[in-house]
């Protein structure tokens, strides 16, 4: 029931068309839903299960294997900031650092031990993902993923 989501998961043809649209810049922003649910709401028959899946901890590893890295970074960072009127940070002396630490080449099996959320309802459990975010440096604080 972890794959019971609204809107529903799409066909491979639809996914391929969306990936192509992001890679060519037709779609310029993407994001992920994150809907943590109690296990009791998902460990039931499909028709009785709540809609939703967590997405934050698997997002980069899922989309990184399909979308070209330069387009992906624009679609999840720069373009949403531009559209929202938020200044895009620069790396320069005297500027406040806003950095994400990640490895786009690392592959790993996504398991419950990878999930920091108290909810474990991920549609990607057991899947091999490529790319992992390790942490951020933001507002003069270093926050590292401890898994």
The three-class DSSP label of residue 92 is coil
What distance in Å separates the CA atoms of residue 45 and residue 103, rounded to the nearest whole number?
Answer: 38
**For residues 122 and 52, is the Cβ–Cβ distance under 8 A?**
no
The catalytically annotated residue of 14, 28, 33, 38 is 33
**For residues 42 and 49, is the Cβ–Cβ distance under 8 A?**
yes
Q: Is 33 a catalytic site residue?
A: yes
Helix or strand holding residue 146 (H, E)? none
Closest CA to 34 of 15, 55, 50: 55
SS3 content of the chain, % helix, strand, coil (to 5): 30, 20, 50
**For residues 114 and 32, is the Cβ–Cβ distance under 8 A?**
no
User: Which residues are designated catalytic?
Assistant: 33
């Amino acid at each position: 029931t972890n794959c019971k989501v609204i809107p529903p998961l799409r066909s491979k043809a639809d996914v391929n068309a969306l990936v192509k649209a992001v890679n060519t810049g037709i779609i310029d922003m993407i994001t992920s839903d994150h809907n943590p649910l109690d296990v009791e709401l998902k460990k039931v028959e499909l028709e009785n299960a709540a809609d939703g899946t967590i997405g934050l901890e698997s997002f980069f590893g899922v989309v990184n294997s399909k979308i070209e890295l330069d387009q992906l970074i624009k679609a999840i960072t720069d373009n949403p900031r531009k559209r929202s009127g938020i200044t895009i940070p620069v790396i320069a002396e005297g500027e406040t650092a806003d950095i994400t630490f990640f490895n786009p080449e690392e592959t790993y099996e996504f398991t419950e031990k990878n999930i920091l959320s108290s909810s474990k309802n991920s549609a990607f459990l057991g899947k091999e993902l490529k790319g992992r975010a390790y942490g951020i440096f933001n507002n003069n604080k270093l926050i590292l993923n401890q898994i």
